[in-house]
Every structure is written in C-alpha cells, then in structure tokens.
Amino acid sequence: MLASRFMRATKMIVGISVKDIEGSSAAMKKALFFAQAGDKITAIHVPTLMPEMMLSSMSDPGDASEDALLALSNMPTKAGAAMMDKMRQVAAAEMALTGKTINIDYKVSAPTSLVKIGLLAACRYEGANVLIIGAGVGGKGSIPPFVAQNADGVTVCIVRDHIK
C-alpha cells in the first residue's frame, strides 16, 4: 500500500502573488490541507516585468550608475523573496497546526510581462499535477479564469475560502 502511494505522489504548485497576499496564504493552506505523505508542494512567484527594468523610461541608460541598474534588476526578485518568507511562515504555522510534515520548495521565476503564461510554463516545467491559486484581490483576479481555461493536463484549484 505504501509503495503504491509513493507512485501516486502529487506534485502541487501554489501560485504566489505579491498583490494578493491573503489569497496566496489561503492557497498555501489549502495545498497543505490536500497534501499527504510523499506529496511535494512548490510555491512559485512569477514577477511582473516592470518598464523600469527594461530601462525604457531612462533617457540614457549609460548615465545610470551600476548600483542603480543592479537595484532595478533585483526589484521583482526581492519582492518575491519577501513574499516567500511570508509563505514559509504561513506553511510552518499550518503544518504545526495539522501535524503534517510536507516537503515545500519556494521559487521565484524570471520576470515576465505575461504572468499568466509564465505561471503555466512553470507548471509544465515542474511537472505539476495540481495548481492551487487564490482568487485574486477581492475574488476578482484575471489569472484564475485564464489558468482554469488554459492549464491543459493540470487540475486547477481556485481558493475562495477567504472571500466574504
């Protein structure tokens, strides 16, 4: 029985958003609720590519200091890392509450202008069976319906438990 359970282990992706902290936390809790021994959860944040990063708003990028260019290129990564720290706290508290011990990886992907497609690409790259995401700010996000329509071969769970 145990061997068959490991053969069926589920690879879950939890979509993390800086804009929807409450929804991301709810998605992480739901993933931990669904998870069983042998399952693997990967929390992924796909940052938005900002115009400042493309240096299109600078009149002459050559005039920018090396420190300024470094700060601009690290902005989404730093925001994603801070969000992952928050998700680590949520996961640790939830695992302590439920008594489960689940393997969780935390990743920040490369910034992209098409976050929806970047999230689906991350699911394919990670070999996910299940994608769990929040519903967006106030339950009105545009990513949940997009992934529900386009995540071929992946079960999508949109968590709305926290929406009143």
pLDDT at 114 over 70: yes
Q: Which phi and psi angles does 140 have, rounded to 5°? A: -115, 25
pLDDT at 57 over 80: no
Q: Tell me the CA distances in angstroms from 12 to 70, 75, 130, 131, one per residue in order.
A: 33, 27, 5, 6
Please give the residue that has the higher pLDDT: either 55 or 40: 40
The 40-45 sheet, strands edge to edge: 103-108, 40-45, 11-16, 130-134, 155-159
Whole-number average pLDDT of the chain: 82
What would the mean pLDDT of 97-101 be, rounded to a whole number? 90
